[in-house]
Structure 1
Amino acid sequence: MSDVTTPAVELRGVTKRYGDVTALRTIDLAIDRGTLVTLLGPSGCGKTTMLRLIAGLERPDDGRILIGGRDVTLAAASERNIGMVFQSYALFPHMTVLENVCYGLRAGGMKKAEAIAAATDKIALVGLAGYESRLPSELSGGQQQRVAVARAIVLEPEVLLFDEPLSNLDAKLRRHVREEIRELQQSLSLTAVYVTHDQQEALAISDRILVMNMAAVAQDGSPRALYEQPESRFVADFIGDANIVPIEVRRIDGPLAEIDLAGLVLTLPHHGATVGAAELAIRPQSVGLAPGAGAPGTLPGRLATAAYLGSHMEYRVRITPEIELFVVSPDVAAPLKPGCDVAVSVAADGVAIIPGR
């Protein structure tokens, strides 16, 4: 048995090509035990390829893959001690819930009584006690997903892989099931690698997110770090809503930079920016609006659009011909009207300099 300090999963210089196309480029990655790491990115970025390499469904062209400190680069999927929850659930339609969850145990040679006991325990763990005799067609989408999770964890895998597991569910059910997956992962201290293209999903469930783009990792960090301190325009734009606007870095003083945003001077952490042209990522909720214009420390703007969304207002504000800001305001009691002049302020939180432009 490997030492608890040994990473659950390691990729060392892993590259995967399909003909002339590089699907994954020189990836180095170590995943700690008991954590949920999400691979997030647009279609074609390499996240599913990385999951398939970990699972043993593909082999790398270069590099090594280790699970629990054991080199499994050339090992078959059945020899890796991993569990996988597929997008399509992949349940056997003619088998009951209990039979589906028992299947892997029985295929591995476990006695029927032992397999039923273990499967019944895991079915209860995912909140489906009493559903053992039902067929998949008699379950909701969320319940089918829980059966798929129970079937994977009953084998007590070293690593559990999720391939876009919520994409077939509606928005409300997705939120409920993702909370269940996160609670289960934490309560059992499972090591999980989770693939999604949904930013909200990734932020909600992850200990760590790898934002991927063009076969490489664009940024690796906690949900908060990625949201509040994006290191590139791509990450700032991909993780949540962000206004990306041009700025001028006027001077650097230690960790801080003095910037010029359309005449408004702000002091912010520079994150590696140098004096000269750069860009600023501004989250919509970090922009304040007040009727009128010309207040000190604000920018004059004109409201272009206003939309009521029940819990908040969404605005678009024109600052200059080149700069328009998307703004989210919780103030629904006194909405502003399109065409009015506004004073635009920028909070210190939710604002980050993006080096280079």
Structure 2
Amino acid sequence: MNQIVSSSSIPAPAGAARGLPPALEFHQVVKRYGLVTAVAGVDFTVDRGTLVTLLGPSGCGKTTTLRLVAGLELPTTGQIRIDGTDVTFRSAAERDVSMVFQSYALFPHMSVLENVCYGLRASGVGKARAVEMAAEKLATVGLAGFEKRLPSELSGGQQQRVAVARAIVLEPKVLLFDEPLSNLDAKLRRRVREDIRQLQQQLGLTVIYVTHDQEEALAVSDRIIVMRNARIVQDGTPRDLYERPADRFIADFIGNANLVPVEVTRDDSPLARVSLDGMVLALPHRDLPAGRLDLAVRPNAFLLRAGGPQPGEIAGTIRKAAYLGSHMEYELVLPGIDRELFVVDPGVERPFEPGAVVGVRIAPHGAALVPADGGAA
């Protein structure tokens, strides 16, 4: 069974000092579909005014968890609380949440303004007030002047903003995003994710954000909850997960770490002695035992130097090289390791050719020890 690893560096709840409950609480929530368990005993809380991302590979349970928050699915067992109120078996209409869907779900025959007004009018808000509120939120997302256009007359990024305006105009206690950028091209994804993060911080929104994109999660989140096989495997800030992964899965899934077998010796100090074919590093042992462990090394933590190895380095052989404009990507082979390692190097002026032997060092800030068997750190 995977162990949940929480970070001690997560900020205290925004409302804790005022005695307010968290915006969202999951207590031992289980969701089964027949014999299939989609969510298995999940526990977490979300602080007011924070953006928390549910991250993981396809089929890990993150979208089901989001749908449980929304009330689109009801749990088999467990409890869900929003703003301190038990909503476990309440319908979607009885929960103060709004969702931005992957497909945007805009009404094609309605204008932008009518789309944003729709939820307000359905809730009984008068037409004049609904128009006023909708226009205000369209201005907030940068779409003032687009009120009369149809969704078909907008770009993908503009349609996404309409969907956001339609959700936030209801002033929900929790705003949900389900893979919101998956329909956008790479350049637009970056701009829209920045817009979402800025809006969340500007308005102090509580957001649950689902994605399978690690870079997207790192860019927008206050906290990331990583799921695998229907369970939470690590919960922490983006920096915690990137620099202190709990196990091999987290290290590889977030940041494409290279996993290198090493020998570790340690004493009572916080640092362990990490040996790799004669090269020695001093790294935090993270309470792992001495012996055979894996070293998770980020692609940009390999430092390459032309020529044979000098003291403190080991010899490596370049197998493949690719020029990507701002950097080079290499496949590197080290002694005693039966797989090629992925390396990112900023030196594009004098790149290494395939077959070149280079001196290799590892930067401590890009390396972390993890259990060799994939257990939690």
- TM-score w.r.t. structure 1 length? 0.98
Secondary structure of the structure 2 residue equivalent to 1:25? strand
Q: What one-letter code is carried by the residue in structure 2 that aligns with 1:343?
A: G
Match of 1:200 in 2: 215
Aligned partners of 1:162, 1:123: CA distance in 2, in Å? 18
Aligned partners of 2:247, 2:300: CA distance in 1, in Å? 20
Match of 1:346 in 2: 362
Match of 1:48 in 2: 63
Q: What one-letter code is carried by the residue in structure 1 that aligns with 2:204?
A: S
1:282 matched to 2:297: yes
1:327 matched to 2:343: yes
Aligned partners of 2:222, 2:350: CA distance in 1, in Å? 38
Q: What one-letter code is carried by the residue in structure 1 that aligns with 2:371?
A: P
1:160 matched to 2:175: yes
Secondary structure of the structure 1 residue equivalent to 2:267? strand
1:6 Cα offset (Å): 1.1
Give the one of 216, 219, 227 matched to 2:242: 227
Match of 2:352 in 1: 336
Give the one of 96, 104, 125 matched to 2:111: 96
Q: What one-letter code is carried by the residue in structure 1 that aligns with 2:150?
A: L
Secondary structure of the structure 2 residue equivalent to 1:273? coil
Match of 2:132 in 1: 117
Match of 2:26 in 1: 11
Secondary structure of the structure 2 residue equivalent to 1:253? coil
Give the one of 165, 176, 189 matched to 2:191: 176
The runs of 5 or more residues in structure 1 that have no matched partner are none
Aligned partners of 1:8, 1:157: CA distance in 2, in Å? 11
Q: What one-letter code is carried by the residue in structure 2 that aligns with 1:345?
A: R
1:64 Cα offset (Å): 0.2
Q: What one-letter code is carried by the residue in structure 1 that aligns with 2:133?
A: A
CA 1:252–1:316 in structure 2 vs 1: closer, same or farther (change >3 Å)?
farther
Give the one of 282, 290, 311 matched to 1:267: 282
Aligned partners of 2:45, 2:232: CA distance in 1, in Å? 13
- TM-score w.r.t. structure 2 length? 0.92
Q: Deviations over 1:292-325 (max 9, x none)?
A: 1130111111111111100001111211252532
CA contact (8 A) 1:40 1:197 kept: yes
1:75 matched to 2:90: yes
Q: What one-letter code is carried by the residue in structure 1 that aligns with 2:354?
A: P
Q: What one-letter code is carried by the residue in structure 2 that aligns with 1:351?
A: A
Aligned partners of 2:295, 2:76: CA distance in 1, in Å? 39
1:252 Cα offset (Å): 3.5
Match of 2:6 in 1: none
1:186 matched to 2:204: no
Aligned partners of 1:327, 1:10: CA distance in 2, in Å? 40
Structure 2 counterparts to residues 239-250 of structure 1, below 5 A: 239-250=254-265
Match of 1:210 in 2: 225
Match of 2:10 in 1: none
Match of 2:13 in 1: none
Aligned partners of 2:236, 2:220: CA distance in 1, in Å? 13
CA contact (8 A) 1:290 1:344 kept: yes
Q: How many residues align?
A: 356
Q: Deviations over 1:46-102 (max 9, x none)?
A: 000100000001111111000000000011111110010000100011000000000
Give the one of 269, 273, 288 matched to 1:258: 273
Give the number of the structure with larger relative contact order, counting CA–CA contacts within 8 Å between residues 6 or more apart.
2
RMSD: 1.2
CA contact (8 A) 2:222 2:237 kept: yes
1:33 matched to 2:33: no
Q: What one-letter code is carried by the residue in structure 2 that aligns with 1:274?
A: P
Aligned partners of 1:23, 1:222: CA distance in 2, in Å? 25
Structure 2 counterparts to residues 292-331 of structure 1, below 5 A: 292-323=307-338, 324-331=340-347
CA contact (8 A) 2:37 2:230 kept: yes
Of all paired residues, the percent bearing the same amino acid is: 63
Farther-moved stretch of structure 1 (245-254 vs 75-84): 245-254
Aligned partners of 1:308, 1:18: CA distance in 2, in Å? 48
Secondary structure of the structure 2 residue equivalent to 1:268? strand
Aligned partners of 2:262, 2:32: CA distance in 1, in Å? 39
